[in-house]
Amino acid sequence: MAKSTSKNRQYRINGERGVSLSGLIVVLIVLGALALVVIKVVPAFIEYRAVKDAIVKAKATGGTVREMQTSFDKNADINNIDAIHGRDLVISRDGGDTQISFEYEKRIPLAGNVSLLFDFAGTTDPSGVVNKPDTAAK
């Protein structure tokens, strides 16, 4: 005859369940740190989207390179874009079609000497290839 092992198991019907106070504090600290990072990072991505929209509008205005830079600067003033200016844009003409590209870094301080660094780049070129600025001319 096989012995039943269920006789050796003990079950607590009214056993305590839940999270201890120290466990709750640890979870709240982790959630608070994540919320801090999100609160500081989201504005950088909103600004990036505003820059992408501004270069599309600057391209739509057409004209000379200076007119497109001025159009971008006006749009940047309205949308509180301070990471990049019209003079930082790379404007190229390929076969009569104008393309505008940009590239910039955004550093976001978190605490003390800890910060996040984002490299943003964008273009109006349908191929998605970002033209690099000509550093030899500067």
Q: Residue 10: which residues within 8 A CB-CB, separation 6 or more? A: none
CA dihedral sign of residues 125, 90, 71, 50 = positive
Q: List, for residues 36-55, the tens digit of each pLDDT value.
A: 999 999 999 999 999 999 99
Q: Residue 72 burial (CB < 10 Å; 0-12/13-18/19+)?
A: buried
Higher model confidence: residue 7 or residue 136? 7
> What integer pLDDT is reported at residue 5 of this predicted model?
55
Residue 122 clears pLDDT 50, i.e. is over it:
yes
Q: pLDDT class for 128, splitting at 50, 70, 90?
A: confident
Percent of the chain with pLDDT over 70: 86
Name residue, tokens 């273009």: 123
Burial pattern 81-93, b for ≥16 Cβ within 10 A else e, equals bebbebeebebee
Q: Residue 6 — pLDDT band, cuts 50, 70, 90? A: low
Name the pLDDT band for 2 (thresholds 50, 70, 90). low
pTM, full prediction: 0.75
- Integer Cα distance of 89 and 73 in angstroms: 10
Q: Does the structure show a pLDDT above 90 at 111? A: no
